[in-house]
């Protein structure tokens, strides 16, 4: 439902439970981070009972949904995606206003959601392939060549078939930065695999997610896709209910640890895509032309630096340090801060005052520790008066290696650049760190790039590119160490939504 609020539509999004839209006794406001005094809309604050009902609905729908052939589930999902072609502009604007990103990024995000769903649907055939384990020949038997077999271990007296079966109810909890794109790394895979789903959108950016999923859920069987919004305490049943067989969570490392603790009570499987302090390693032979500088800059400052797979620190060979700094400085100087719906805006605000203050504190501490901080970009009077959570993009030059701007994930427009002399020491630093989500290697020699990449213990390593603009959605995505566990996307992400079932027959 929508109400007129000034010249804009003030949106209210309800809960999606069992194929019905439910309201709530209480609603919570969603604010525009570029103009925090403006309310974008209201989302329903679910009660614990409503959260339990969402699990009830998903559990009740699971039997019929899981009984369908994978290709049939994929066909139903593809048909449902047709509804997303309607009202696209309205949802794009809604995402900009509640998230803070620029319009071009919001348009890409909605497109990525549909594309990832299509890609997952196209993998349905992978679930039809039963792996057959046949007995080996026994000692003394004759091989196909006619020769007697000797020194062959005793073979089992049975054969087995291994198939991938649906798990049951899956809960997916998504973050604020790219909520729909990140959701589509798991939601369509869960559905195609035969699971039913409860989605928990982020509290600061729920409106576009709920509006999109409502259109999708209307064309799916009732209860297959459910959505609850509200406080973490109220929706706790979608995590703790024993009928939930997998929790997919994207967010901070500390929050991921809390999810693991709650999941442990029921030994619920978890897929965790957590924080990443992703390094870019720039070798001495790199070609730092305009295109490479732009890729490095975009890889670091996309969505105001609020991307888990974005570059968070740059290690550059000392001989190329000045050249890299000069090139990135020139790129960043052209940024114009402002509301994401204004056509001249190239960088929006951070999503919250808390995140802005965190990044600003990291910069202040870097200055105090002796790092040179250079800030770039412009903000006109309207932007400066807005009260929005803006920060100018900044480079932090040669800070101490143990300073927090280097060791912590900034998740904002602040990038430390560190010169190095010893590549082995950089690789060792990366591999011993707490994070292991993504990395990138920058060089003109692809063979050398492959050698360095093979030594890096991160879930993804890009060559001469980085961040979401370089993501290959056919490949699995996830992290090492405290950057998470499990994988999304690709065949691996699909099989993660199943469990192996072995049937063993006598020989």
Looking at residue 147, the DSSP 8-state letter turns out to be: P
Q: How far apart are CA 297 and CA 312, in angstroms?
A: 11
* 382, two tokens: 């309207």
Residues in the chain: 507
Strands 498-506 and 158-166, bridge-based pairing: antiparallel
The residue whose two tokens read 């309800």 is: 14
Stated as kind and residue range, the H or E segment containing 431 is: helix 423-432
**With helix as H, strand as E and coil as C, how does 156-220 read?**
CCEEEEEEEEECCEEEEECCCCCHHHHHCCCHHHHHHCCCEEEEECCCCCCHHHHHHHHHHHCCC
117 is annotated as an active-site residue: no
Exactly one of 38, 93, 117, 308 is catalytic; which is it?
308
- Phi-psi map region of 10: left, alpha, beta (phi>0 left; psi -120 to 50 alpha): beta
Q: How far apart are CA 479 and CA 456, in angstroms?
A: 12
Exactly one of 93, 105, 109, 273 is catalytic; which is it?
273
Q: Residue 39's beta-bridge partner residues? A: 31
**With helix as H, strand as E and coil as C, how does 264-308 read?**
HCCCCEEEEECCCCCEEEECCCCCCCHHHHHHHHHHHHHHHHCCC
> Residue 459 in contact with residue 483, Cβ under 8 Å?
yes
Cα separation values, 237 from 21, 47, 198, 229, 242, Å: 19, 10, 11, 12, 9
273 is annotated as an active-site residue: yes
Q: How far apart are CA 271 and CA 173, in angstroms?
A: 10
Q: Please give the backbone phi and psi of residue 282, each rounded to the nearest 5 degrees, phi first.
A: -100, 115
3-state secondary structure of 41: strand
Q: How far apart are CA 164 and CA 18, in angstroms?
A: 26
Catalytic center residues:
273, 308
């Amino acid at each position: 439902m929508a109400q007129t609020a000034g010249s804009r539509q003030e949106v209210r999004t309800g809960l999606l439970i069992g194929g019905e839209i439910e309201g709530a006794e209480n609603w919570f406001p969603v604010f525009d981070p570029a103009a925090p005094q403006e309310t974008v809309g209201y989302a329903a604050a679910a009660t614990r009972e409503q959260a339990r009902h969402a699990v009830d609905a998903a559990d009740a729908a699971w039997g019929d949904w899981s009984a369908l052939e994978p290709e049939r589930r994929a066909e139903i999902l593809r048909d449902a995606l047709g509804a997303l072609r309607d009202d696209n502009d309205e949802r794009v604007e809604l995402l900009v206003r509640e998230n803070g990103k620029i319009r071009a990024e919001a348009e890409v995000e909605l497109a990525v959601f549909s594309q990832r769903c299509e890609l997952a649907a196209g993998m349905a055939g992978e679930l039809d392939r039963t792996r057959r384990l046949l007995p080996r020949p026994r000692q003394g038997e004759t091989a196909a060549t006619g020769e007697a077999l000797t020194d062959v271990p005793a073979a089992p007296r049975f054969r087995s078939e291994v198939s991938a079966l649906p798990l049951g109810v899956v809960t997916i909890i998504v973050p604020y930065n790219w909520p729909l794109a990140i959701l589509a790394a798991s939601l369509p895979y869960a559905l195609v695999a035969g699971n039913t789903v409860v989605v928990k959108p982020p509290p600061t950016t729920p409106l576009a997610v709920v509006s999109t999923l409502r259109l999708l859920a209307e064309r799916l069987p009732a209860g297959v896709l459910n959505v609850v919004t509200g406080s973490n305490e109220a929706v706790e049943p979608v995590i703790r209910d024993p009928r939930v067989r997998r929790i997919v969570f994207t967010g901070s490392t500390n929050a991921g640890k809390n999810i693991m603790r709650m999941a442990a009570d029921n030994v619920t499987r978890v897929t965790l895509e957590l924080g990443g302090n992703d390094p870019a390693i720039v070798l001495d032979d790199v070609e730092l032309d305009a295109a490479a500088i732009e890729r490095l800059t975009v890889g670091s400052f996309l969505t105001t630096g609020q991307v888990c797979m974005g570059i968070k620190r740059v290690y550059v060979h000392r001989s190329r340090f000045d050249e890299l700094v000069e090139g990135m400085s020139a790129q960043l100087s052209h940024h114009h801060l402002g509301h994401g719906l204004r056509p001249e805006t190239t960088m929006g605000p951070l999503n919250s005052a808390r995140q802005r203050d965190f990044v600003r504190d990291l910069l202040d501490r870097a200055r105090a520790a002796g790092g040179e901080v250079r800030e770039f970009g412009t903000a006109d009077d309207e932007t400066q008066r807005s009260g929005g959570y803006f920060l100018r993009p900044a480079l932090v030059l040669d800070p101490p290696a143990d300073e927090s701007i280097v060791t912590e994930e900034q998740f904002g427009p602040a990038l430390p650049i560190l010169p190095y002399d010893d590549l082995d020491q950089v690789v060792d630093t990366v591999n011993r760190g707490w994070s292991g989500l993504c990395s990138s290697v920058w060089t003109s020699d692809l063979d050398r790039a492959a050698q360095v990449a093979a030594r890096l213990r991160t879930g993804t390593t890009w060559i001469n590119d980085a961040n979401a603009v370089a993501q290959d959605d056919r490949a699995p995505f996830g992290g090492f160490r405290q950057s998470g566990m499990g994988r999304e996307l690709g065949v691996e992400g699909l099989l993660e939504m199943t469990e192996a079932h072995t049937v063993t027959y006598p020989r």
